[in-house]
Structure formats: C-alpha cells, structure tokens
Amino acid sequence: MNVLKGKKILVIVTGGIACYKALDVIRKLIEKDVSVDCVLTKNAGEFVNVLSFESLLGKKVHLNLFSLDEEKNMSHIKLANKCDAILIVPCTANFLAKIANGIADDLATNIILASDAKKFIAPAMNTSMWNNKVVRKNIKYVEKIGFFILNPKSGKLACGSKGRGKLMDVDLIIDEVSTTFFEQKLLGIKVLITTGPSIEKIDPIRYISNFSSGIQGYEIAKILSNFGAKTTLISGPTNLEPPRNVKLINVESGEEFLKSSIAQLPADVFISVAAISDWKSKKISKKKIKKINGVPNIKFSINEDVLSDISKSNKRPKLVIGFSAETNDLIKNSKKKLKNKGCDWIIANKIQDGVGFMSEKNQVFYLDKNKVESWPKMKKNLVALKLAKKIVSFFKNNRL
C-alpha cells in the first residue's frame, strides 16, 4: 500500500556532512510516485553540487529567497501552500535552532513559518552537539509544537567519533513519513501480538528453538500501529529493529510468552504469530550436560499453549487470530487447529524454500469457520497489510 502516491513533499536540505544522503531520500520518494520539490540552504550547496539534485529531480531546485525570480513569484508562499509535507534532511543544530526560535532569514525558514503542512526533522550532527542541553531543549520544543522528529541512530560519525547523531537510515525515513499518512481506522483498538521463536532451556548453554525470524509479527505490529491501534508486541529473541509507536516486551520461553500475554489483557485483538516450541525440558540442568556421560536422557513435557489459553480466557479478546506453520497437510491441519484452539481466524503458511521462516516473503491461506482464502506469494509487509485490512473490516462490521 503506497500511501505516499500522489503526495507533494518538499525536501529541505541543510548544510551537514550527511546532506548527500538527501539525494537517496529524494530518489526513493520519486520511486513512490511522490511529487518532490527541493530547497537547498546556502551551506548545503557547499557539500553537494546543485546539479546533482537538479539532475535527479529533472527540474530546478530552490536556493535563495532574495533572488529577483524568487521574490517576484513569492516562492516561499507557493511552496509552503502546495506541499503535503516538509522533510528537513539532514537538519543541522544551527537550522534546528532557527526553527525553534522562529527565525526566517532565508527561503527554507520562510517556507517553514508559512506552511501548515506536516513537518519532519531528520537531525544529523556530532554526538556532543546532539547531547548538548540547548539542542535537547530545541528538539523537545519543536516536537511539542507539532514537528515529527526522526531521531538519529548511533554509529561511527564523519568526525571519527562514535555515538548517537548519525542520520536515520533512508528507508526508515521514508517509512516514518509514510506512517503519518495512514488513516487512523483502528483508533481506540488495543492489539496484542506475539512473534519470534521461543527458547526452551535444557541447561545453561543449550536450548530448543526454531528458525522463526519474527519478521511477520513485527510487520503486523507496524501496520496496525500505523492504522492507529494501540499495539503491544511480545517478542522472542530476534535481530529486528523495534517498530515505532509499538510497546515491545522481550521474552524467551513459552511460559514467559503466556505470562506476558495474560498480563496485557484485556485487549480487542490477539494475534499469535510466535513460533512457540511444542515441548520443553521437564528439568533444566543447572550445569552443562557433559558429552562424556553419553547421550543424555532428557525428558520433555508439553509446553504452554498460548493461543489456546488466550482463546479460552475469561478476558478473551473480541478477535483472536492464530498462525499455523506446517510442512504437510496445511489446510487439514490448520482447520483442526482453528477448531481445537478456539480462535476466530487462522493464517496458515507452508514452510518451504523461499517462503516462511528466515525469508522476507510468505505465501499463506486465510481460514475462518466458513471459508478458506488463498493469498498470493508476497512480501511479509504486504501480508501484514492484507491482514490489517481484514481487521479493519471486522471492527467496521462488529462495533465494540
């Protein structure tokens, strides 16, 4: 779902060392069918050639408020009025200070004061500058008055030091801007999602687990949050970046998944995406089990069934959705799971090469008590979007 298609976004580039990355931001916006205009501050032109921006845009960039042409055409008013959003990338500490204090001494700052559009600030600067009390005060103030702050990440900076201040990843910048254009169709709905693998310890070193990456659950959490749902994500160990505006609870074992899920009730929707091990060791050895003693006699017991327990809870959510990963008899086994677990919907996916675990794609079937729908093979973010649309329809037809 390309919510940016047809939008008009003005990119303001200020004079930081990261300003070359603004070219990549503009390119990705154009790929999403966004109409892009660009303003370069005087200092930005010292870092990147103006021609680079004009070649990418296929049109002139805007530079100086006081040129005859700009003044004649009142460019700061026209640009301010015709855009849906303003993205300042990168934003230097100096330019941030101007915004916070209402200074309008060039084209870029005049546009910001004259525009009612959404405004995004993607800061990039030295760590010490980012941590400076004046900069922190300015960030808090502009956020308070309605600017969206795309916080920098930690890493090695151009000055050679390490710390926070590195421009947010370009793809994340695009995602964050996109998020604000979603219709808040699930506002007031509380969603609880489990995702990722469980870890069931055998001894202090070894455990039982599986190949779940957690990607599908993270994508579902992200899209439902974008639709306005108050979203909590209970996650087993993954290497994924936590979704913005989502409450993240990290767990390991099936027991921890269950306890955390119950603690977060009541909720309106529960989505069990987590691949929780079916078995766990009856007894966890306090010491490493030594190979010298031969093959260990490990006794297993059935693990907690989080989906079933939540479905049958006296605090059962209005909508309970399970995931069913199978290697064979997918529909047959998933129909059985739908009935036995007591959930409303099952999303069934066959684990095979190229889809499912450890992949960015999934091919799933949607099952409820009345029908089975085959969904095409697609990226997991699109599976999440398709599921989110079904959830929106459910609450549209079944008002709480």
Tell me the catalytic residues.
159
Instruction: Give buried/exposed letters for 324-359 (b at 16+ CB in 10 A, else e).
Output: bbbeeebbebbbebbeebbbbbbbbbbbeeebbbeb
Cα–Cα nearest to 277, from 344, 343, 325: 325
Say if CB 273 and CB 194 are below 8 A apart: yes
Q: What residue type is assigned to position 220 of the chain?
A: I
CA angle 109, 110, 112 (to 5 degrees): 65
Say if CB 318 and CB 398 are below 8 A apart: yes
Say if CB 93 and CB 129 are below 8 A apart: yes
Cα(172)–Cα(78) distance, rounded to whole angstroms? 29
Q: Which two tokens stand for residue 90?
A: 């990168």
Cα(314)–Cα(266) distance, rounded to whole angstroms? 10
In order of 86, 331, 335, the CA distances from 372 in angstroms are 44, 8, 9
Cα(119)–Cα(205) distance, rounded to whole angstroms? 49
Residue for token digits 């091919």?
363
Cα(25)–Cα(11) distance, rounded to whole angstroms? 9
Please enumerate in sequence order all residues whose Cβ is within 8 A of that of 7, keeping only pairs 6 or more positions apart, or say none: 34, 35, 84, 85, 181
Q: Which two tokens stand for residue 154?
A: 């930690």
Q: What residue type is assigned to position 102 of the chain?
A: G
At 24 the three-state DSSP class reads: helix
Q: What count of other Cβ atoms lies within 10 Å of the Cβ of residue 108?
A: 27
Residue for token digits 């697609």?
378
**Helix 133-144 vs helix 93-100: angle between axes, to the nearest 10 degrees?**
50
Cα(268)–Cα(276) distance, rounded to whole angstroms? 22
